[in-house]
Each structure stands twice: as structure tokens, then as C-alpha cells.
Structure 1
Amino acid sequence: MYLALKGSQLRFVIGLLISFQHVVTADYSSGASEFWCESTKPTRLVNIVYLKCLNEVPIYVDATVKPSDSSLPHQFNLTVKRVEKYSFLVEILRTDLDSGWENILLKINWKAYPPKEIKTCRQLYDFGYRRNGLYNIYLDGRTKWEVYCDLENHGGGWTVIQRNMDNRTDFDRNWLDYKTGFGNKLASFWIGLENIRALTKNGDNELRIDITTCDNTKIVAEYSNFMVGPESDRYRLNITGYQHQQGKLCDYGSPSGRWQCGSTGVSRTTCENNVQGCCFDSAASGKNRCFHTKDAMAWGNGSEFSTKDKRTNTCPNTMKAGWWFRYCTYSNLNGNYDPCKVGFNYAYWRNVSPVGLHEGLRFTEMKIR
């Protein structure tokens, strides 16, 4: 039966259904259908019904269309317009209106992915999601877990694991809190060491750290490899492949040799393109205009995580936070929220700062993919 909408509505044809196949696996529901279409109708809307009931609305449907006869030209684009619990709607658009045929048999192959198939924010991005916010993922394919996904920035697909942006969340916590997580995922929070372990144990993860300093300078540190060990090893930190915000690798030499900057009179262009990773600070003067984003995480690489009630040194008490401490200063992103305060109780992420090397930060965020 053929059906056409008139006026400003889309005109479409659903041809005689020739066949329909439906398969359900542990990961997705799939199927294929064939139908005739007429050359006089360039746009078709086809509603495909799942022949087997699904327990919930699929989070994503992947569908393709092509002529059943492979010798015929492939001249169709398909867009999934709506996904529901019992069916999904696709729009098929012809790209060649002068092909010479009157009727053609088309085949749609599709896969409907249930929400439990989503294990990372990267998968959400790959499935076309482009809005930051809270999403449910299923790391083990069974248990629902709410995470904050950054799907808009820096290539998308990031799972945010830490944010320190106000003083409403206390980071001076015990081991259990740091293990399980705390805070508000829409503001300041810590996702939990056990969750970070679950997200990174495959060993193929990158980490991005975004920092805003007292004078609103933006600092970015990226690492191509980030992983934490199991609780039996105190969630030991394994982090390598440091890059600064220009994207150049800086993972060479000793930590103290990674951010040496040039002499006086360094131009902005030279500074920003320096192979060692200089950043430019227009508020400073002379040689201070050229400074490096420090690879501050390097000082904690290989360290166990410590809290005030489970520690290898006094750093958690001094810094009022849990962290991978080797020295009490440098990278700590979980310290007290005191923007612009200075002193050894604060982080050390750049070699030159208008307020001091150890400075209270306005904003920090850690995210992985």
C-alpha cells in the first residue's frame, strides 16, 4: 500500500514489505527489511517495527539502506528520525533523481543498541550525542552508573572524574570517601578511586587537565597514558605522555628539565611555539612572559594514593586532601578552594605566576577517554 502526504508535509511511500528479519543478541537487536519504492517519490519515511519486544527504548539505532540488487547504483541517504520502544522511523532521500528506473527494491539493515551497551562517554559521542551533562553508562554491562560526560569540547567523549570549582565540597576526606566518590557532579566532585580504576584498567586512556589560575590564565595538561592500580596497590598512579596545550610532546628528560624557558626578550610567537611547551602570559613582563605549564603530575607518577587516615607521609594532613603525594606540593588538584592565595599548601603548575609559584586555583577539572 502506498501513502502520500500533501501540502507542506513530507511525501513518502512505504512499499510492499517483502521480508523482515530480526535477531536479538546480548549486545543489540538487529534486523533487515526490504520494500519497493517508486522513482517519483524522492523522499520516503519508513517506520520499522521490532518484531520482538524490547525492554526499553534503544539508546541508538544504526541503520543503512542500499538496493537489494548490487548491480544497481547506490543513490540513497538514510537518517534515523525517531527511536521508540516498539519501532523507529527513518527518512530515505534519493541523491540521483535521473537514474532511469521506475521501481526499485531497497534493503534496510539496522542494529538497535540498548542503554546497557553504553560503557563510556566516548561511545555516547560515537553514537551522535553532542550535549554535555549527566548520562547513565554500564561499565560491566549490568549496573547503571551516572557520570558527567563532556561531549562538546576538545573532540568530545570525555568522562569527567574530578572538578574543583567552589568551596561547597570538602575534599579533606577519608579513604572510604575517596574510594567511593563524593560531591556534586554538576559542580565540585571526586568520582571515586574504584570508579577511576574501572574506567582505566584497560591501560588505553588519555587524561586532560584544565586549570584556571588566579589571574584567569588557562592551563592545559594532557597525558596519552593514564591508569590507576587496584585498591590492593593503593590505587597507584601510572601516568606518561605529557603534552602541553599546543599539543607538543614534553615527555623527555627529568621532570625539572621539562619546562625550562628561554632568556629575556622572548617573543610571543617563539614562546607559544617553543618545543618544550611554553605558555604565554601577557600580564607578566620580560622573561616572565614566557613560562611553561609544569608537568606537575610527573612528581606523583608511581605513587600510592594517600588520605588523612591511610597515608605514607603527612601530606594529606598538610594539604587537606587526598592525592598521589610524593612531595606535598606540585600537582594536588584536590586542595582547599582558595583562589589567589599563595603558599606551599597550594599547587605548583607553572614556573612564573603574578601571585606566586604555589597558588590557589580558580578551577580544575580532570577528564579521561
Structure 2
Amino acid sequence: MNELSEPLRPKDCDEIIDDRTDGPKQIYINDEPVWVYCQFGIRSSYTVIQSRGSSDEESFAKSLEEYKKPFGKPGKGNNFWLGLDNMVALTANGSYNLLIELCCGGKLIEPQLFYENFKINPGPDYILSAVAKDRPSIGLDFYNTNSQKKDINAKFATYESMSEDER
């Protein structure tokens, strides 16, 4: 096969060119097919790495080992997690921004939180790095007086790994 006839293997939703309707799409992370939910806008597209829906088919009460791999089903109203290892690989190969949308019952709750230079660093700590631009000191940039830290530049934590003060 020559270069022109090989099928496109998008690394994220922004690289999908044939069907730009919102919905579950297949992308390739480390040359492996992975299903994600893609949300397309006029100027950009979003590769959804986590969604919490009304469906409780999939619990987020998991161990760190379970968070390393994907779980759930991508889609609106579904619980879904891309997996820490996939997030590391995805964010290592490009410049990504993170948009957090909080919604309930299909209604967007303001404010949306936007971060630049989003990255999940490799394990064992899976440290999240990002820059809070538009609304510093809230969301991931909020300083928790109980834990004495912010989520930005903190290692990934599960409920079971957190102390009583951090919960």
C-alpha cells in the first residue's frame, strides 16, 4: 500500500475529518484503537476523557490499577473514563487544552473551566499539569485547605488513597 491509500488513523477527535457529528468515534492511541466521545465545535473539537452520566452502570469507586485502563462506555449520559495510561500517551504527543463542563439533566451549569497545556504525566504518580487561565483559584486550581494542595501538579488520587481530611 502506498501512503495515499492507507486509512487515516486519527490520534484525537480533532484529526477526524470524515464524520464530524458529535458521538462515539474510534481514535488510535499508541496505534491501538480506542473508543471515545467526540464533541465537535466550529473552531475546535473535544476528545472526551471522562464523563459522569445518570447511568450508574459503571462505578468510579475503583483502585489506581483500575483507573490505569479505560472503563465505561463513551457517550452522553454514560459513565466513561479513558484510562490514565491512554491519557498519558494522548497528551504526550501534542498541545492540549482541557475544558471541564459541569451539567446535570442535559443543562450546562456555569462556569465552564478552561485550562491550557493540559497533560497527564507518566506513572506511578500520574501528575496532572495545566495552566488555569480564565478563572484561577477555582476548579483544579482551587487550594484545598484540608489537603493543603491544589489538583494541578498533584499526583492522581483515588478515594481509597486519600486521607479523611482530603475526602
TM-score normalised according to structure 2 size: 0.79
Q: Are the aligned partners of 2:101 and 2:109 in contact in 1 as well (CA < 8 Å)?
A: no
After TM superposition, give the deviation of residue 154 of structure 1 in Å: 5.9
* CA deviation profile, 1:185-209 (whole Å, cap 9, x unmatched): 1211111111111111236110111
- Is the Cα–Cα contact under 8 Å of residues 51 and 79 in structure 2 kept in the other structure? yes
1:149 and 2:15 aligned: no
With over 3 angstroms needed to count, the CA separation of the structure-2 counterparts of 1:301 and 1:216, relative to structure 1, is: closer
Q: Deviations 1:23-55 (Å, cap 9, x if unpaired)?
A: 81xxx32xxxxxxxxxxxxxxxxxxxxxxxxxx
Instruction: Give the structure 2 partner of residue 227 of structure 1.
Output: 119
Question: 2:151 is aligned with what amino acid?
Answer: G
Deviation, 1:120, is 1.5
Deviations 1:251-284 (A, max 9, x none): 4xxx3xxxxxxxxxxxxxxxxxxxxxxxxxxxxx
1:239 to partner: Cα distance: 1.3
Partner of 1:178: 67
Which residue of 28, 40, 43 corresponds with 1:138?
A: 28
**Which aligned segments of 4 or more residues in structure 1 are displaced greater than 6 angstroms?**
none
Q: Which amino acid aligns with 2:155?
A: E
Deviations for 1:307-337, whole angstroms, at most 9, x for unmatched residues? 245x2x325xx8xxxxxxxx44xxxxxxxxx
| Structure 2 CA distance for partners of 1:188 and 1:155, relative to 1, 3 Å | farther
| Structure 1 residues not aligned, in runs of 5+ | 1-22, 30-111, 244-249, 256-294, 319-326, 329-369
Gaps of 5+ in 2: 142-149
Equivalent in 191, 207, 211 of residue 82 of structure 2: 191
Encode CA deviations 1:132-156: one digit per residue, 9 max, x unaligned.
122222223x3222222112x3634
Q: Counterparts of 1:122 and 1:175 in 2: how far apart (Å)? A: 29
How far residue 175 of structure 1 moved from its aligned partner, in angstroms, is 1.3
Q: Is the 8 A contact 2:25 2:38 kept in 1?
A: yes
2-side partners of 1:308 and 1:207: how far apart? 23
Aligned to 1:120: 12
Q: Contact 2:52/2:80 (CA < 8 Å) preserved in 1?
A: yes
What TM-score, normalized by structure 1, do the two folds share?
0.38
Q: Structure 2: how far apart are the matches of 1:145 and 1:167?
A: 21
Deviation at 1:129, TM superposition (A): 3.0
8 A contact 1:174–1:307 mirrored in 2: yes
The answer to whether the 8 A contact 1:207-1:223 is kept is yes
Paired with 2:42 and 2:112, the residues of 1 have a C-alpha distance of: 11
Larger Rg: 1
Contact persistence 2:29–2:86 (CA under 8 A): no
Partner of 1:166: 54
Tell whether the 8 Å contact from 2:87 to 2:120 is kept in structure 1 after alignment: yes
CA 1:217 to 1:229, structure 2 compared with 1: closer, same or farther past 3 Å?
A: closer
Map 1:248-263; keep pairs closer than 5 Å: 250-251=135-136, 255=137
Query: Deviation at 1:170?
Result: 1.2
Distance 1:185 1:216 in 2: 19
Distance 1:128 1:167, change over 3 A: closer
Q: Is the 8 A contact 2:70 2:81 kept in 1?
A: yes
- The alignment status of 1:241 with 2:90, answered yes or no, reads no
Count of matched residue pairs: 155
For residue 201 of structure 1, what is the amino acid of its counterpart? A
